[in-house]
Amino acid sequence: MATELDHTFTTEKSLDDSYASILDLERLVPAVEGGSVTGKESDDKVNAEILMRMGAMSMKLIGTVEVVEKDEAAHRAVMRVRSRESGGTGHANAEVTFQLHDGGGDIHTNAQITGKAASMGEGVVVGVLDALIKDFTTKLGQI
């Protein structure tokens, strides 16, 4: 199942500080509810896991988060998330684009979900992802 979501966020931080924050994966990943960094491969790539709750079901996703594009002048960054279900056959992959501007920014998420999560149905998956990203946007100004 593939889905695309768009969100905005606001912050009191300067544009340059906000840009530096989103590129700091060791601070960014834990801002996702249930997310943690489990290892660092480079400044632009970390190993990570997330414990996701979907109603009564929960699952652990294990994978990587990598900055694949950086445009400091435009304050734009693209990240690739690759993960698989721990003990399962599904995956949750995404390309996340951050476009910052004074006072905040926009996040575009293009996600592909398979396995247990996808079996919950598109409405549930989109609802869970939307809530997860909305929560994340409230924390962006604090990292």
- Which of 61-78 are b and which e, b meaning 16 or more Cβ less than 10 Å from the residue's Cβ? bebbbbbeeeeeeebbbb
Question: What pLDDT shows up at residue 105?
Answer: 96
Give SS3 for 58.
Answer: strand
59 contacts 116 by C-beta, under 8 angstroms: yes
How high is the mean pLDDT in each 10-residue block of the chain (143 residues)? 94 94 96 96 97 83 97 97 92 96 96 85 86 92 81
Task: Enumerate the β-bridge partners of residue 111.
Answer: 3, 94
141 contacts 9 by C-beta, under 8 angstroms: yes
Question: What pLDDT shows up at residue 56?
Answer: 76
Which amino acid makes up residue 29? V
Q: Which domains does the chain have, with CATH numbers?
A: 2-140 (3.30.530.20)
Cα–Cα distance for residue pair 75/102, rounded to 1 Å: 10
CA atoms 69, 46, 132, 18: torsion sign: negative
Question: What pLDDT shows up at residue 35?
Answer: 97
Question: What pLDDT shows up at residue 43?
Answer: 95
Question: What pLDDT shows up at residue 124?
Answer: 82
